[in-house]
Amino acid sequence: MIDTIVHMVLVLAMPPLLIGVIAKTKALFAGRVGAPVLQPYYDLGRLMRKGVVISDTTSWVFKAGPVVTLAATLFAALLIPLGKHPAPVAFEGDMILFAYLFALGRFFTTAAALDTGSAFEGMGAAREVTFSCLAEPTIFFALITLTRLSGTMSLTPMLQSVTLTVWTGTGASLLLMLFGLFVVLLAENSRIPFDDPNTHLELTMIHEVMVLDHSGPYFGCILYGAALKLYLMGALFANIAIPFSGGDPYLDWLIFGLSMLALAVGVGVVESVMARLKLIRVPQLLVAAMILTAFSLVLVVR
Amino acid sequence: MNRPYRMLQNGEAVPRREIPELSLERFQQELLGGIEDGWRVVSYFGAAEGNAVRLYAVLSEKMEGVLGVMTALATAREIPTLTPYAPQLHLFEREIAEQFGLVIEDHPWFKPVRFAPPLATPLGASAGKTPKIGLMDFYRVEGTEIHEVAVGPVHAGIIEPGHFRFQCFGEEVLHLEISLGYQHRAVERLVQGPLTAVTRKRMETVAGDTTIGHGTAHTMVVEALGGGRVPARAQAIRAVALELERLANHTGDLGAISGDVGYLPTASFCGRIRGDFLNLTAELCGNRFGRDLVVPGGVAFDVSGDLAGKMAGRLQKAFDDVANAVDLLWETPSVMARLEGTGVVSGETALEIGMVGPAARASGLNRDIRRDHPFGIYAMSHIPVETARAGDVYARTLVRWLEVEKSVEFIQEQLTHLPGVAFQYPAGAIAGDSLAVALTEGWRGEICHVGITDERGGFARYKITDPSFHNWTGLAMALREGQISDFPLCNKSFNLSYCGFDL
């Protein structure tokens, strides 16, 4: 019971902190003081109090977009274990639901973008679906590899089966998989080198350009949903990358929280030391990530 | 072959009666012939005269370092176009048509330039009113898979207004058309008439980021017409200010390019260092953009030995900082991969459309007013011209950086050897019935001011050609067959002026 409560609190409250930590890391690399790490929370608070402007050309799809996306992401949050603690909801095959809840959210985000009829948002939607087509196989290769290692198709037992002994046995395979997952984590959450959430240049953005017309609480939902998605994908990554348990449940929560912050710092470092890719190069990197995870499967199956 | 131009030097005035007057047909032949012989059109404009429009062409020949000017009277509303034979004339012809209600026959791209009302219509007003800004038939590519993207005039970033119309096939840009004029302030009309106290202020704000460049060009026109001398010390101080302006803007651009590719360290460092250079300009005259520094007859403020020493030290420190920040760019492979091969303007295209400044030099065109038509201290003290060949964003970035290096060396040299004592001589009265041409190399490229006076010494016509006027077409060409997602980066690598174009 306590674990479920802690799970819910972490999942609901912590995601914007990751965004704040990434921004702070980037600011430090750039020699600036930067916004406070809690800035994303203030931003959400501000957006929630704002009014909404909705274009006459849009239909209910436009309003449904952010809501369905956030709901789907929140549901996915129930399926992923955080650290060594089981997820509140777990059943055989939930890994497929987990992956496709994100796809559902993406479908509604792109549908809402197309609903505006804007040329920019259409371009953004086209880019988003093209790149996610290439990112999806990576996730599934990784999940299938884990299924093969653990013999289960449920996320909780699957991820908790990754222990130090598994690492010593199949370390090479897991490393390849982690690399692939990290690339997908950056791509799916519109981070550099795939997308730049900070440049407000309508012609180059991918995710940001799809939500240009959303404002106020709708936009708040989108930002919060994006942070949550980063958090969940980060949790998937951290569960595999941190194979050991502290032995004590509270210590495990602490380890998990710290590993998420470390991941945010890592993302911030990557964003600071490299430039964005040319848009036409993005598929190449995504395919490379897919091949890495495919190899990790081959290594496990052989 | 000898051309029937009246030859003159940069910053020289000639009596109007000495300018050869040709028939319109001969004028056009000589214009095309000159371009074929390697002359370049610096400015081509009209002026109302009775019931006709007098056309003036100012051309530059860099081997001899001379300018040529000639004129013709257009007495009919229709003028045949020269653009198909000399694409660099295309905007000039459109501008003449818009400013004087003329029709350029068979012009391949006959559209408004700034959507502004005419300066004068000596040959009768054209049918219909001035079109509303931005309302015109944009070039369209037909096809079910072609989509059109319209950007601006209100942009996502805090920049000046301009409208961009892309014809795209997927992510590929087939054509980009740029529609400007949103900042039109009628500067050329405002400075007509006698020289007043506000004239210089207006000239300094033709493009606010090129205060020294435009301000110097204007004072050169006034000095040429007034016949006064300028002390060498003032010339050196003007050059220092001009190079500081170049440093500040190039540094800002290097940072902005880096920011556009998502590479933050250089972006934030350069943003700060740009301020250091601006503050050095403030040391000269109390204004970070150099307002009121350059005045007819010299400069308004002297630089003491103490100040020169102090500035040299601060300049070196700022340069070391910018060198560190920019080195990060060259050392980061992902940045280089992003810049190389993006937004290519070939040398032939650049030559054809008459590009100027760092953008032209990045495409391999070796042109720089500081060397080709040296003005002020540049006649004595040379500054090397930096070129690159690729014509891509990388080349434009590289040329900026190389110019930063050369400018710092140049300023250091000037600050250690400031000549003479006097820094301002009295300016003479403006000569009547004359024409003066002044060219300066601003940080964006060649700035041309032409002043034509009436018999009482007031300006009958004052023509400003900002480098952006030559280069906007270059940006459109850079995007052709490029990726639409590369547009912001290409735009930043040109960093052209909207208000300098819109006047």
pLDDT (tens digit per residue) in B226-282: 888 889 899 999 999 999 999 999 999 999 999 888 888 898 899 899 999 999 999
Q: How many residues are recorded in chain B?
A: 503
Element containing residue A165 per DSSP (H, E): helix A164-188
Q: Using CB atoms within 10 Å of the CB of residue B412, give its burial: 0 to 12 exposed, 13 to 18 middle, 19+ buried.
A: middle
Question: Into which CATH architecture does domain B6-105 fall?
Answer: 2-Layer Sandwich (3.30)
Q: Which amino acid is at A4?
A: T
Summarised one tens digit per residue, pLDDT across range A83-120 is: 888 899 999 999 999 999 999 999 999 999 999 988 88
- Decide if B151 touches A, using CB distance below 8 A: yes
3-state secondary structure of B420: coil
Tell me what the pLDDT averaged over chain A comes to.
90
Cβ separation A278–B485 shorter than 8 A: yes
* A250/B57 Cα distance (integer angstroms): 83
Q: Which of B263, B270, B328 to mutate to test the interface with A (most CBs of A within 10 A)?
A: B263
Contact yes or no for A117/A124 (Cβ under 8 A): no
Q: How confident is the model at residue B503 (pLDDT cuts 50, 70, 90)?
A: confident
For residue B488, which residues of chain A lie inside 8 Å, CB to CB? 199, 201, 203-204
pLDDT at B311 over 60: yes
3-state secondary structure of B462: strand
Contact yes or no for A157/A150 (Cβ under 8 A): yes
Contact yes or no for B216/B234 (Cβ under 8 A): no
- Decide if A122 touches B, using CB distance below 8 A: yes
Cβ separation A193–B262 shorter than 8 A: yes
pLDDT at B128: 63
* B389/B364 Cα distance (integer angstroms): 5
Question: Where in chain B are all domains bearing CATH 3.30.460.80?
Answer: 6-105
Q: How confident is the model at residue A237 (pLDDT cuts 50, 70, 90)?
A: very high
pLDDT at B140 over 60: yes
pLDDT at A231: 94
Q: Using CB atoms within 10 Å of the CB of residue B72, give its burial: 0 to 12 exposed, 13 to 18 middle, 19+ buried.
A: buried
Element containing residue B55 per DSSP (H, E): strand B52-61
If phi > 0 it is left, if psi is from -120 to 50 it is alpha, else beta; for residue B290 that is left
**Average of per-residue pLDDT across A242-270:** 90
Give which of A109, A142, A133, A168 is closest to A239, Cα–Cα: A142
Summarised one tens digit per residue, pLDDT across range B413-425 is: 999 988 888 888 8
Cβ separation B268–A119 shorter than 8 A: no
Query: Which of A120, A203, A275 lies nearest to residue B261, judging by beta carbons?
Result: A275
Summarised one tens digit per residue, pLDDT across range A123-164 is: 889 999 999 999 999 999 999 999 999 899 999 999 888 888
* B206/B271 Cα distance (integer angstroms): 23
**Average of per-residue pLDDT across A271-298:** 91
Structure tokens at A103: 């796809």
For residue B149, which residues of chain A lie inside 8 Å, CB to CB? 119-120, 123, 203
pLDDT at B213: 93
Q: Which of B163, B260, B485, B489 to mutate to test the interface with A (most CBs of A within 10 A)?
A: B485
What number is the ipTM of this complex? Answer: 0.85
The nearest CA of chain A is from the CA of B247 a distance in Å of 21
Cβ separation B265–A32 shorter than 8 A: no
The nearest CA of chain B is from the CA of A232 a distance in Å of 25
Task: Kindly report the pTM of this predicted structure.
Answer: 0.90
pLDDT at B400 over 60: yes
- The rounded percent of chain B whose pLDDT value lies above 90 is 55
Q: How many CB atoms lie within 10 A of CB B150?
A: 15
The nearest CA of chain B is from the CA of A47 a distance in Å of 19
What is the Cα gyration radius of chain A?
A: 19
**Average of per-residue pLDDT across B99-106:** 88
- Decide if B392 touches A, using CB distance below 8 A: no
Q: How confident is the model at residue B477 (pLDDT cuts 50, 70, 90)?
A: very high
Cβ separation A278–B150 shorter than 8 A: no
Q: What CATH topology corresponds to B187-465? A: Cytochrome-c3 Hydrogenase; chain B (1.10.645)
**Average of per-residue pLDDT across B211-236:** 91
Cβ separation B151–A201 shorter than 8 A: no
The nearest CA of chain A is from the CA of B420 a distance in Å of 43
Summarised one tens digit per residue, pLDDT across range A160-195 is: 888 888 888 888 999 999 999 999 999 988 888 888
Cα–Cα separations (whole angstroms), residue B402 to A287, B273, B362, B383, B490:
38, 17, 11, 12, 19
Q: How many residues are recorded in chain A?
A: 302
The nearest CA of chain A is from the CA of B193 a distance in Å of 43
pLDDT at B1 over 60: no
The nearest CA of chain B is from the CA of A62 a distance in Å of 21
Summarised one tens digit per residue, pLDDT across range B39-78 is: 999 999 999 888 899 999 999 988 888 999 999 988 888 8
- Distance, first Cα to last Cα, chain A: 41
* A188/A177 Cα distance (integer angstroms): 16
Query: Which of A119, A200, A279 lies nearest to residue B483, judging by beta carbons?
Result: A279
3-state secondary structure of B464: strand
Summarised one tens digit per residue, pLDDT across range B141-154 is: 888 889 888 887 88
Q: How confident is the model at residue A75 (pLDDT cuts 50, 70, 90)?
A: very high
